[in-house]
Amino acid sequence: MRPASDALIVIDVQNDFCPGGALAVAGGDAVVAPINAMMDDFAVRVLTQDWHPADHRSFAAQHPGARPFSMTEMPYGPQVLWPTHCVQGTPGAAFHPDLRTDPADLILRKGFRREIDSYSAFFENDRTTPTGLQGYLRSRGVSSVTLVGLATDFCVGYSALDAARLGFVVTVELGACRAIDLDGSLAQALEQMRAAGVTLVGAT
């Protein structure tokens, strides 16, 4: 058992990010078994859930003529346009059926504001609107976080960079993560995490 100051943060292990889902990550379901096995080591466990309204602005379908995985400009900067995914209350937004959710202390939903995407578990994509997770972890005495889940180069990576920026000691267990890897986004995310002082376990 790790000290009470260490939290496990499980990012977006939801059906739409697993094979057969709307924004399937290759091997996304392979993270479930290692994550389930890690949970008992941690006194603080948080699950995040990507949770979008059906007309979310990050969906390509909301931008006439735009293809999924193309780029657009939002008021807060460049934004990938995604296939419609993780719509609130749909089966695609549910956790993978084999993920252990009972041990979670907190289930944090993000991406629920129509106008702004939220990759990170700490801040929305403007990098300033907080989700509240920082306050939750601090008030529970957490100083160190281990991140796992989907996807390495988006929601896990952004969460790791924000956690490091906020002063948490940050570890990413790559064996319990899988990437989307859009135009070199995985290599870029790994490089940015390294530069921010994030410990990458299982990096080659």
Q: Which of 6, 50, 162, 173 binds ligand VGL (CB under 6 A)?
A: 50
The residue nearest Zn ion at its CB is 50
CB of 96: closest distance to ligand VGL in angstroms? 13
Q: Work out whether 18 is an interface residue with ligand VGL (CB under 6 A).
A: no
How far is the C-alpha of 63 from the C-alpha of 51, rounded, in Å? 19
Beta partners for 149?
A: 11, 177
Q: Which of 47, 99, 155, 176 binds ligand VGL (CB under 6 A)?
A: 155
Residue span binding ligand VGL (CB under 6 A) among the ranges 26-34, 150-158, 164-172, 192-200: 150-158
Q: Work out whether 116 is an interface residue with ligand VGL (CB under 6 A).
A: no
Binding mask 68-107 for ligand VGL (x = CB under 6 A): --------------x-------------------------
- How far is residue 162 from each of residues 5, 87, 136, measured CA to CA in Å? 18, 25, 15
Residue span binding ligand VGL (CB under 6 A) among the ranges 26-34, 128-136, 147-155, 160-168: 147-155
Among residues 17 and 42, whose Cβ is nearest to Zn ion?
17
The H or E element spanning position 137 is helix 133-139
How far is the C-alpha of 188 from the C-alpha of 20, rounded, in Å? 26
Q: Work out whether 154 is an interface residue with ligand VGL (CB under 6 A).
A: yes
3-state secondary structure 2-20: CCCCEEEEEECCEHHHCCC
Residues 6+ apart with CB under 8 A from 146: 6, 7, 8, 9, 38, 42, 171, 172, 173
* Tokens encoding 148: 């796992």
Q: Work out whether 151 is an interface residue with ligand VGL (CB under 6 A).
A: yes
Q: In terms of Cα–Cα distance, which of 1, 3, 38 is closest to 140?
A: 3
> Which residues are tagged catalytic?
12, 110, 155
Binding site for Zn ion (CB under 5 A): 50, 111
**Residue ranges in contact with ligand VGL by CB under 6 A:** 12, 17, 50, 82, 119, 150-151, 154-155
